[in-house]
Amino acid sequence: MRISSLLIVLFLVTAACSSLPRGDAGEQAAPLAPDYANPDHWAALPQRADNADRTPTDSLTDNQSIAPADVFFLHPTTYTGDRGQKSWNGPVDDPDLNAKTDNGSILYQASIFNGAGRVYAPRYRQAHLHAYFTKDKNKPTAIRAFEVAYRDVRAAFEYYLEHYNEGRPIIIASHSQGTTHAKQLLRDFFDGKPLQERLVAAYLVGIPVENGYLNQIPPCERPDDTGCYCSWQSFRKGHTPPYHLPGGRIVATNPLLWNTGSDYAPAALNDGAVLRDFNKIFPQLADAQVHDGLLWVTKPRFPGSIFFTRPNYHIADYNFYYMNVRNNAMRRVEAYLKKQ
């Protein structure tokens, strides 16, 4: 499948599911809860070979065996309405669903961080994609679906702290639904709490983070800041989605400048994107500019980009800036260790 075809398919999946959940989440029997002592209930573990270990080129190194920090990665929604996906929450033991997660976000997103830390990515009973778009009468059901998902995320993080962390510094990284849960995780475990001292940084990508959502954890304003968070949602330059909250109510980070200012960052600052072909890096592909809580991107050019017509670049939030995020995570870990 060509790059253009992949992007079009994924955007269409986001826009309209083929299978919608039926009934009330409170009335459905939820899938069995994961057991995080079972390695199969993790999409990535540093002591096991998985797609989070891969690098796009041989010039990059998977540093997990020697990394001084950990990365807790929460994947986006992959329970998107494929045939038979009619529950409000996806199971963690569905081989097709797990393959979709592993060959998608674990490979193309979680792998970004294997230069900076040991990557832990739990499977969780993710809410169906439709939970984000359901009508008012079904909102309580959607909320319950997200609550089930977050219970798993919380349980996974508690298991990770008890059995894996061993007092190491932590990066929290997430995309889309993963960020919905990562925001709450930061509130519950880090914000104004002792564990905040071990936070290298959080990459909360693809979901809005409201100004003031976190009380003690600020947005990052320099590429070597620690104990802070970065967040962005990517759109074609000039586009503002109808659901956006204007007036500076949303935090947006420029992933080429690593601050929340509105200065334009040219594509010359882009160290490299990774698109459909994981084994190829596209340097200087995408520029970046923060505009009122959004990240505006001039439409990039790549093979097949003529078909890349939608203004929402959600699918590429990380991948337009793959190398910049990778290098920045490593830099923040180095800065954190120097402060200790």
Q: What is the pLDDT of residues 137-149, one digit of tens each?
A: 678 999 999 999 9
In what helix (H) or strand (E) does residue 122 lie, and over which residues does it extend? strand 118-122
What domains can you pick out in the chain, each with its CATH number?
Answer: 3-232+323-339 (3.40.50)
Residue 26 confidence class, pLDDT cut points 50, 70, 90: low
Q: Cα–Cα distance between 289 and 256 in angstroms, integer?
A: 9
Please state, as a whole number, how many other Cβ atoms lie within 10 Å of the Cβ of residue 113.
29
Write down the pLDDT at residue 137.
65
Q: Are 281 and 274 in contact (CB under 8 A)?
A: yes
pLDDT band at 15 (very low <50, low <70, confident <90, very high): very low
Residue with tokens 């599911």: 17
> Over 90: is that where the pLDDT of 1 sits?
no
What are 245-264's pLDDT values in tens digits?
999 999 999 999 999 999 99
Mean pLDDT of the chain: 92
Dihedral angle, C-alpha 174, 179, 184, 185, nearest 10 °: -10
pLDDT-derived band at 171 (thresholds 50, 70, 90) equals very high
Summarize the confidence of residues 220-237 as an average pLDDT: 98
Q: Which of 133, 105, 114 is nearest to 46 (CA)?
A: 114
CA distance 273 to 284: 8
Lowest mean pLDDT among 24-38, 119-133, 185-199, 299-313: 24-38
The model's confidence at residue 84, banded by pLDDT at 50, 70 and 90, is: confident
Q: How does residue 29 score in pLDDT terms, banded at 50, 70 and 90?
A: confident
**Listed range (26-30, 165-169, 173-177) with the worst mean pLDDT:** 26-30
Average pLDDT over residues 80-96: 94
How would you classify residue 247: left for phi > 0, otherwise alpha for psi between -120 and 50, otherwise beta? left
* Cα 292 from Cα 271, distance rounded (Å): 25
